[in-house]
């Protein structure tokens, strides 16, 4: 890489594949049973997403996870999280929307332009979002609070 280039070229196929994580959702029409990833950790440390590939739209997709920790500690363009049970979810600054659907008994900390929750139950949500940027649809037993996350490099990401 030339010394005057600050950022790497586009992600390799292996790096791009790391933006998708979890198990397999049920597909009843195709007779596919759900297979959840359990007792695992998904970590995207600072410098592993948009801040590594500036100008690239990095979207993270996570589905079908149980009893796990999900920590996305870099700037992203969009995050989709679905079917999580008993998980700790941390999403660092997202310049777009974070969608969390069909999840329960999670502790969720999100900094985003918009947070959308649908069919989320018995969970704690701590958000750093603009006023009126949290959309809640068909959820129950949610508790809300202020975002409480700190890690090296966070101020520069904001």
For 137, the 3-state DSSP assignment is strand
Q: What is the pLDDT along the chain (158 residues), one digit of tens a residue?
A: 444 445 557 777 877 778 888 888 777 787 777 788 999 999 999 988 876 767 767 889 999 999 999 999 999 999 999 999 999 999 999 999 999 999 999 999 999 999 999 999 999 999 999 888 999 999 999 999 999 999 998 988 88
pLDDT at residue number 50:
78
Q: Tens digit of pLDDT for each residue in 134-143?
A: 999 999 999 9
Three-state DSSP class for 19? Answer: coil
Query: 151 near 133, Cβ under 8 Å?
Result: no
- For 20, phi then psi, to 5°, come to -120, 130
Helix, strand, or coil (residue 16): helix
Please tell me the predicted confidence (pLDDT) of residue 90: 96
Say if residues 81 and 70 touch (Cβ distance below 8 Å): yes
Residue range 29-53, pLDDT digits in tens: 877 777 889 999 999 999 888 767 6
pLDDT at 36: 85
Q: What is the pLDDT of residue 35?
A: 84
The reported pTM is 0.85
Residues comprising the chain, all counted: 158
- Given this model, what pLDDT does residue 2 score? 45
What letters, b where the CB count within 10 A reaches 16 and e where it falls short, cover 59-80? Answer: bbebbbbbebebbbbbbbbbbb
- Pairing label, strands 107-128, 88-104: parallel
pLDDT at 57: 74
Q: What does the block give as tokens for 156?
A: 């520069």
Q: What is the DSSP letter of 118?
A: E
Extract the tokens encoding 12: 């390799």
Nearest-angstrom CA–CA distance, 42 and 131: 29
């Amino acid at each position: 890489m030339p010394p005057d280039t600050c950022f790497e070229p586009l992600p390799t196929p292996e790096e791009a594949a790391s933006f998708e994580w979890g198990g397999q959702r049920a597909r009843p029409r195709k007779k596919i049973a759900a297979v959840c990833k359990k007792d695992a950790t998904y970590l995207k440390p600072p410098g592993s997403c948009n801040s590594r590939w500036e100008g690239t739209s990095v979207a993270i997709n996570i589905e079908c996870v149980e009893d796990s920790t999900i920590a996305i500690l870099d700037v992203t363009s969009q995050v989709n999280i679905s079917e999580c049970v008993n998980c700790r979810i941390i999403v660092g600054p997202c310049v777009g929307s974070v969608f969390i659907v069909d999840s329960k008994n999670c502790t969720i900390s999100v900094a985003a332009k918009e947070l959308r929750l649908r069919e989320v139950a018995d969970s704690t949500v701590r958000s750093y979002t603009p006023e009126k940027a949290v959309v809640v649809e068909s959820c129950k037993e949610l508790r809300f609070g202020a975002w409480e996350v700190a890690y090296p490099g966070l101020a520069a990401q904001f």
